[in-house]
Structures are given as C-alpha cells and as structure tokens.
Amino acid sequence: MKKALIVILIVVVLILGGSLIALKVLSGDVTITSDVRITIEDGSSTSTIAQVLQDNGLVKNGRIFRYYAKQNGVDSQFKAGEYTFAAGTWSMEAVSDKLIEGGVSMGDYLVLTITEGQRIKDIVATLVGLGVTSEEAFYDYAQNGNFSYSYLPAAGTENRLEGFLPPDTYYLDLQWTEVEVIDMLLAHFDSLWTAERQARAEELDMTVREVLTMASIVEREAVLDSDRALIAGVFYNRLEAGMMLQSNVTVEYAMGEWKLDLTYEDIAIDSPYNTYIHTGLPPGPVCSPGQASIDAALYPEDSEYLYFWGQKDGSTRFSKTLEEHQAGGENDL
C-alpha cells in the first residue's frame, strides 16, 4: 500500500512538473520576422482577441493568453482598433500592454497601398493625393536621406530607392511626413530581406539592388506566378551568353510610361535603362517587385530557353532559338 502511494505521488509530481513546463513554453516570447497588423473589432471578447493573436503568431497559445489576462486583471482593458506589431520578439506582457494602450481607431489614419509593379512615381502620386508630402520633399529625402541600411545605394544616386519600397498595405499616422513614411517602408523591406535571401544573393554574386533589378523586370514581364522563375532563368541565360536582355519593361521605364507595344523608335531611346542597346542589367529596379518575383530572381529555374512570349490567357511560351520565338505568334514579348 505504501509503495502504491509513493508511485501515485511520483506520477502526480511528474504530471504537475510536465504541466508547468508546458505552461512556461506556451507562455514564452514569440519572434516575428516581419511587421504584423491586426484588427480588434469593437466589442470583441478576450477569447476572440486571444484567437486573433494566436492566428497571427503574436502569442503561442490563445487559452494561455486568456488565463494571463484574467490573472492580471487586464482582460477588460483591451481596446478596439488597428494594431501594428513591429518585427522582433514580443512577450505576452508586451502584447497585452499594447492592447491596453490602444491601437489606431477608424478615421485616425491614412491607408497607403503599394501594389506589385508600381514605380516610386506612382507611390509619390498616392502620397501627394493623401496630403502626406509634396513631390519635391519626398524625392529630396529619398535621394539624400541618411539611412542605416548598408545595401542601399549611396546618397545622391539616381532612382536610389526604386524597388526598395515593398508592396503591401500600410497605415499612416495623420501627422506623418515623407520622413516617417520612407523610414517605415525601408524598415519593412529590411524585415523581408532575410538572412537566407542575403546568403542566396551572395551565392549568385549579386548585390541586393541587382537582385531587385532582376526581380522588378520579372515582375513586369510575368503574369502568372508559375512563370516567374522560368522567365528569370531566361534573363540569366541571356546574361551568361553575353546577349542583351531586350526587355520591353526597361525601355518603358526609361520612357516613363507602360505601353502595350513598343515602336522601333521607342527601343532606340538613349538611356542606360534601354536593354535593347546596352548589355547587362539596367542601373537599378524599374518597379517595386513582389515577394514571388524576388524569390524568382534568387532561385531562377534552369532551362535552355533564351526567348519567351506572352499568350492571351496570361501564360508564357518559351523557346530555345530565335526561329522558334519568331514563329510563336503575334504577341511576342
């Protein structure tokens, strides 16, 4: 009987110990690699809030967060609103404190949406329309600002931040100027440019700007995500063969407008971005590429293709020879 009690006590201790360990793990800090934005609707219960936090990776376990909030008497203090959690490590206490402090209420912020393939001029036009900045002020800070990211081109470089302002939806404080907006956009890009991506760029012997330049061309050339890596591979094949890239989108960037068809006069434009008359990559990106295009530039698909053309359904056909390419149809790219 005595031995049986001892065994039971040991089992109870082990169970309690395991539970405490599990509780400690599930209530531990979380690390997010990019900014996370959430919305807490008016009237949301602690249970709903906890689930939102768990779904977005801001806490490890929603039930543990509910227990934490109740035990600390803060479960009735969380406020509705829009919240942005910056990339980094967040403790349960820090998440709770932010929810108590309150987020941004409807009508108290401006929304900036950057879509894949937009140029800085498009982004500036939106910001000017929102009343955030003027063209002159934005370009002056973008061109000459003192930024802490070593991979950015030096101050004064033409089109310095083109490609570095990532597509996403952003919530801007009403008091922000171009300084806060650009700083936020660059910080977001830095969170997306992971150590893995940097290592891969170094394997390719490419700078960050060169990767974004290739990615931006792919962004404008491709319609379907499934074609991006193969299109990137075509351009790398051309570079390796010493051919000119002959990408319409680089000419369009030089012209300052996107066109459905280019004329012979267009492709003769005198610009370092004209890849019909210059070999190698253009000086910089021609737009803001999305994550799929960046990954395509970093991990191109191997093939022997040197040419491609677009189809009416948005897909892309590829060929190895100029003869095949010329026979591909009227919609050659």
Q: Measured between alpha carbons, how far is 67 from 27 in angstroms, rounded to an integer? A: 10
pLDDT at 22: 42
pLDDT at 15: 47
Q: Directed axis angle between helix 62-71 and helix 92-101, to 10°?
A: 70
Domains of the chain as residue ranges with CATH: 27-101 (3.30.1490.480), 109-192 (no CATH), 195-326 (no CATH)
pLDDT at 333: 40
pLDDT at 261: 81
Closest to 282 measured CA to CA, from 136, 142, 159: 159
Q: Are residues 256 and 228 in contact, defined by beta-carbon separation less than 8 angstroms? A: no
pLDDT at 212: 98
pLDDT at 297: 98
Average pLDDT across the chain, whole number:
87
Sign of the torsion formed by the C-alpha atoms of 246, 251, 257 and 262:
negative
Report residue 33 as tokens. Answer: 């690699």
- The angle subtended at Cα 139 by Cα 136 and Cα 142, nearest 5°, is 145
Q: Tens of pLDDT along 265-324?
A: 888 899 999 999 999 999 999 999 999 999 999 999 999 888 887 766 667 777 777 777
pLDDT at 214: 98
pLDDT at 106: 52
pLDDT at 105: 59
pLDDT at 80: 84
Residues of the chain with pLDDT under 50: 7, 11-20, 22-23, 330-333
Please give the C-alpha separations between residue 250 and each of 43, 160, 217, 286, 288, in angstroms, as whole numbers.
51, 16, 7, 7, 13
| Look-up of token digits 């998440």 | 95
> For the chain, percent helix, then strand, then coil, each to nearest 5?
45, 10, 40
pLDDT at 328: 65
